[in-house]
Amino acid sequence: MTQSEWLLPQPEDTIPTSGLRDSAGELDPLAAPGVIGIASELVLSLPITDERGHPTIPPDRHILDHLARAWALVDEDTIIEHPFEADTVAVVDVLPRCDRCGAEARYDTAVLDAVRGRCGAYICLQHIVDAEYTTLGMGAATYIMKTTEVPASIRQRVNQRLVEQDREPRFAPFGGQP
Ligand SMILES: [Zn+2]
């Protein structure tokens, strides 16, 4: 896995931006569907929950992107070259508490507070209805995943990478799983 494979492909890498703008520098509406397609693949249209209210679990590539940045699995230059991050998921050992009820929180997002206005909050699945946002991603909501919930293939890849970097594996081995 090369370093840039840990991170999301950047819009500039994927589309020729020069072809998207007219001579005045405005986005060409004929080219816009391509941009929207790429943006939605990356982040923008990932709903917080499905129609039945079950949480959307962000795709593996978003989990890799988060871990690569949060745990410094790639070097600084690679991160600078990939400024556009998913920010749909965060991996933690212990879930924070819901700011509304104290249960285990699943989202880092914002709520409307009667006194303080819009403010950042950890929210549980039950109180997701109070969130100001309905999508996951930068500036909206982040799904909080426990380290034990990270898919086995990712845990293995991350541990291998940490060993390559002369660091301790951070995921405990799981019985029976490859
Ligand atoms: Zn709650």
For 115, counting Cβ atoms within 10 Å of its Cβ (0-12 exposed, 13-18 middle, 19+ buried), the class is: exposed
The three-point CA angle 153-59-69 to 5° equals 75
Cα of 84 vs centre of ligand 1, distance in Å, is: 30
What is the pLDDT, as a whole number, of residue 139?
82
What separation in Å is there between the alpha carbon of 55 and the centre of ligand 1?
14
Q: Is residue 169 part of a domain?
A: no
Q: One-letter amino acid identity for 49?
A: T
Walking along the chain (178 residues) 10 residues at a time, the average pLDDT comes out as 85 53 61 50 72 90 95 93 89 96 97 91 94 89 96 95 95 61
Instruction: Give the pTM.
Output: 0.78
What is the whole-number distance in angstroms between the Cα of residue 50 and the centre of ligand 1?
19
Is beta strand 142-146 parallel, antiparallel or unpaired with respect to 89-92? Answer: parallel
Domain limits at 35?
3-16+25-164
Number of structural domains (the chain) is 1
Q: From CA 123, how far away is CA 63, in angstroms rounded?
A: 20
Beta strands in the chain (DSSP E): 89-92, 107-113, 117-123, 142-146
What pLDDT was estimated at residue 25?
Answer: 64
Q: How far apart are CA 93 and CA 144, in angstroms?
A: 10
In a domain, 172, yes or no: no
Q: How many residues belong to the chain?
A: 178
Predicted local confidence at residue 45, as pLDDT: 63
pLDDT for residue 40:
46
105 CA to centre of ligand 1 in angstroms: 7
Residue 176 lies in a domain: no
> What is the distance between the alpha carbons of residues 55 and 129, in angstroms, rounded to a whole number?
12
**DSSP-H helix ranges across 15-140:** 32-42, 60-70, 76-81
